[in-house]
């Protein structure tokens, strides 16, 4: 398999690093607007199969040209979701399969943003599914950790643990601490603001998709591995759009264990207009307030040496077990920052995200997974994925609740 990874930030570089331990990749090209950053990502792999390229991810024509020149099979989008449209379109135009970890952005309902969805996450991609299928191309969307592994867990629960499912709730929490910073998100600052302040989505069988207020429905969820109880709140996320399309259940939610201080910072950014993406004029220059916030905060990929603790990604499921009795489980994966830094030189959240697209690519390369159109992780058999994850030393667990 010949792969083009677009974006050499924390996740893109970690994807390359994880891919270098696999024999299924014939060629991996890592492209980034910052050519030096792409080169550093490739040098860390120390593998002749890997090459770096200077590439503007907003330039679809440039992506097509590079993909065709390198005879690429799969374009992997490791950029933030603002760049999904040109990368997604370029993969199609180049005749390549496509994989991303975040889908096209939503746009709130103009009149009832906290009651009804407007344009939902991934809507433009799902609308193109028939065109992709007609050309025999696959766009595997939402294939990181959340969305991604969380969706695989949902598929596994539906196929192997339950006869009927009442609710599937993705729950994410951590006890990560970053030395020297009062506020420093562990993932893309821009994306964190976007998903936390947008109207969260909920899906119910008799109601369909609807929205609520940001940080709504607070609940205390106890995370394993010593992380303990955290207050979790509704956040906009792709799983709520993906899971109901392939899995029979009554309700789907996504909640983060953000913490009161983190929520308060986001509320202040929102109230002051600093979360806005609409440019404002400052001393004769148009600048996006959110871009300024992202610029003054540290790059999450650089925080590994200052970070301590663990992050837990998982899927909580309740319903009727295969034996006909009530059942409630939490399927999860924990990433310990000390371990990921020591083994892979990547901070925990970055590595936990990056390992999943690599496993998916391995399954696609060996035809264990196959398909056409725009599909989420739920559309595939979960067992080969989870088995391969364990083979790679990334254990996962089922916690009976």
Beta strands in 350-394 (DSSP E): 373-375
Average per-residue pLDDT for the chain: 96
Whole-angstrom Cα distance, residue 193 to residue 95?
34
* Cβ-based neighbours of 69, under 8 Å, separated by 6 or more: none
DSSP code of residue 306? G
Averaged pLDDT for residues 384-397: 97
* b/e sequence 125-136, b meaning 16+ C-beta within 10 Å: bbeeeeebbeee
Query: Is the predicted pLDDT of residue 288 greater than 90, yes or no?
Result: yes
Whole-angstrom Cα distance, residue 375 to residue 93?
18
**pLDDT band for position 181 (cuts 50, 70, 90):** confident
Q: What is the pLDDT of residue 329?
A: 98
Q: What is the pLDDT of residue 189?
A: 87
Q: pLDDT, tens digit, for every residue of 104-128?
A: 999 999 999 999 999 999 999 999 9
Q: Domains plus CATH for the chain?
A: 2-100 (3.40.50.720), 149-348 (3.30.360.10)
**pLDDT band for position 196 (cuts 50, 70, 90):** very high
DSSP code of residue 120? P
Averaged pLDDT for residues 147-171: 98
Closest CA to 107 of 186, 39, 32, 201: 201
Cβ pair 387, 318 in contact under 8 A: no
- Chain centroid to Cα 45, Å, comes to 23
Q: pLDDT, tens digit, for every residue of 339-390?
A: 999 999 999 999 999 999 999 999 999 999 999 999 999 999 999 999 999 9
337: phi then psi, degrees, rounded to nearest 5:
-60, -40
**pLDDT band for position 182 (cuts 50, 70, 90):** confident
Q: What is the pTM of this model?
A: 0.96
Whole-angstrom Cα distance, residue 107 to residue 65?
31
Q: What is the pLDDT of residue 269?
A: 94
**pLDDT band for position 212 (cuts 50, 70, 90):** very high
Cα distances (Å, whole numbers) of residue 103 to 25, 78, 280 = 25, 11, 27
Dihedral, CA atoms, 331, 335, 336, 337, nearest 10 degrees? Answer: -160
3-state class (DSSP) for residue 22 = coil
387: phi then psi, degrees, rounded to nearest 5:
-65, -45
Say if residue 69 is exposed, middle or buried (CB neighbours under 10 Å; 0-12, 13-18, 19+): exposed
């Amino acid at each position: 398999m010949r792969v083009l990874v677009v974006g050499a930030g924390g996740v893109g570089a970690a994807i390359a690093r994880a891919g270098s331990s696999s024999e299924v990749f014939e060629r991996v090209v890592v492209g980034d607007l910052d050519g030096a950053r792409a080169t550093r990502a490739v040098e860390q792999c120390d593998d002749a199969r890997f090459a770096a390229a200077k590439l503007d991810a907003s330039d679809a024509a440039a992506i097509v040209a590079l993909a065709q020149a390198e005879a690429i099979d799969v374009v992997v989008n490791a950029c933030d979701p603002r760049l999904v449209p040109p990368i997604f379109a370029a993969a199609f135009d180049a005749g390549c399969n496509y994989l991303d970890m975040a889908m096209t952005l939503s746009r709130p309902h103009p009149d009832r943003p906290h009651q009804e969805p407007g344009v939902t996450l991934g809507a433009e991609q799902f609308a193109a599914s028939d065109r992709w299928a007609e050309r025999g191309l696959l766009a595997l969307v939402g294939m990181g950790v959340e969305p991604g592994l969380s969706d695989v867990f949902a598929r596994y629960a539906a196929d192997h643990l339950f006869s009927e499912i009442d609710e599937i709730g993705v729950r994410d929490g951590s006890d990560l601490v970053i030395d020297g910073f009062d506020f420093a998100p562990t993932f893309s600052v821009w994306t964190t603001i976007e998903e936390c302040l947008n109207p969260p989505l909920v899906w119910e069988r008799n109601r369909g998709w609807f929205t609520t207020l940001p940080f709504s429905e607070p609940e205390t969820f106890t995370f394993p591995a010593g992380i303990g109880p955290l207050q979790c709140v509704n956040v906009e996320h792709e799983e709520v759009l993906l899971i109901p399309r392939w899995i029979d259940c009554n309700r789907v939610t996504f909640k983060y264990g953000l913490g009161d201080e983190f929520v308060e910072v986001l509320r202040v950014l929102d109230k002051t207009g600093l979360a806005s993406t609409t440019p404002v004029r400052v001393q004769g220059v148009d600048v996006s307030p959110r871009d300024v916030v992202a610029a003054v905060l540290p790059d999450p990929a650089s925080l590994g040496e200052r970070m301590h603790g663990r992050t837990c990604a998982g899927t909580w499921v309740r319903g009727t077990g295969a034996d006909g009795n009530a059942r409630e489980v939490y399927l999860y994966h924990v990433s310990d920052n000390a371990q990921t830094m020591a083994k892979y030189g990547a901070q925990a959240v970055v590595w936990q995200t990056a390992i999943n697209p690599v496993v998916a690519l391995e399954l696609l390369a060996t035809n264990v997974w196959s398909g056409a159109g725009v599909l989420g992780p739920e559309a595939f058999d979960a067992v080969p994925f989870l088995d391969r994850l364990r083979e790679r030393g990334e254990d996962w667990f089922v916690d009976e609740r």
